[in-house]
Amino acid sequence: MHPCPVVARLERRGKTAIAIIGGRKQEKETFMPPSAFLRLVGLAVLLALSGCATAPDRRDPLEPFNRAMFQFNQDFDEGIARPLAKVYRDTVPAEVRKGVRNFFSNLGDVMVFANDALQLKWHDAINDAGRVMVNTTLGLGGLMDVASELGVEKRDEDFGQTLGYWGVPAGPYLVLPILGPSSARDAVGLVGDYYAWPVSRLDEEGVVWGLVVLRYVQGRADLLGTEGLLEQAALDRYVFMRDAYLQRRESLVRDGRAPKFDDD
């Protein structure tokens, strides 16, 4: 994830958030560069940090802003993302969708490698590099996940986790437009993920945005059918998503060790 590079977080973060990843250099005036989108997200973060002072949950001092953004994301999903994902699922053959999923997963492993190296997890970094080499060569550019079939473990690392590994606190919980659940630390981490994602190196903005949209739609299609589980599991979907996200991120930073939260 997430779940981005910018985005990512679609197939990551416990399938509780949707995120996208962008590119960088603008060549045509008809496209907003993904880097400009990142700046808009950063502006939203700054407005949130300056606009709220107190809230019941210490982890979520920006709850009024976050709830408004959560509702915006829900409306965006219901009006645009989900219908688009359903069309994609119903028109694109399953094997093609699997190849697309594997392709983006292989690109994501490059980012995972970079973050394992930044965390000095050399064994894991070698594992990540092995996955990329095997899937890029034997897997036809990543369309097939040969590495997993050979037993090479797929890991989940991003720059937000790297910051947490080196002691940077999560900071306040944030809900970003379209990208979904995050935190002050993870929002900063998106920038690092953005530059580590190979697609961000492409010069053609049209190609970059095409890949961004394809990844987003593919990830959203993978989540079709899970919405009912969320509605059944929680009276307050916002609180459910927030708590699930924060607990999972803490677990990832701790490499699976039990997270610790203040009682209040």
- pLDDT, one tens digit per residue, over 95-130 is 999 999 999 999 999 999 999 999 999 999 999 999
Contact 230, 237 (CB under 8 A): yes
Contact 180, 24 (CB under 8 A): no
- Residue ranges of the chain whose pLDDT lies below 50: 1-31, 51-55, 263-264
Helix axes 34-51, 205-222, angle to 10 degrees: 60
Q: Which helix (H) or strand (E) holds 13?
A: none
pLDDT at residue number 54: 42
User: Cα(112)–Cα(154) distance, rounded to whole angstroms?
Assistant: 9
- State the pLDDT at residue 25: 38
- The pLDDT value recorded for residue 133 is 98
pTM, rounded to two decimals: 0.75
Q: For 223-242, write each residue's pLDDT tens digit.
A: 998 877 777 766 789 999 99
Q: Which residues neighbour 76 within 8 Å (Cβ) at sequence distance 6 or greater?
A: 178
Is 203 exposed, middle or buried, given 0-12, 13-18 or 19+ CB atoms closer than 10 A?
Answer: exposed
List the chain domain ranges: 13-101+172-253
Nearest to 215 by CA among 157, 135, 142: 142
User: What pLDDT does residue 65 have?
Assistant: 97
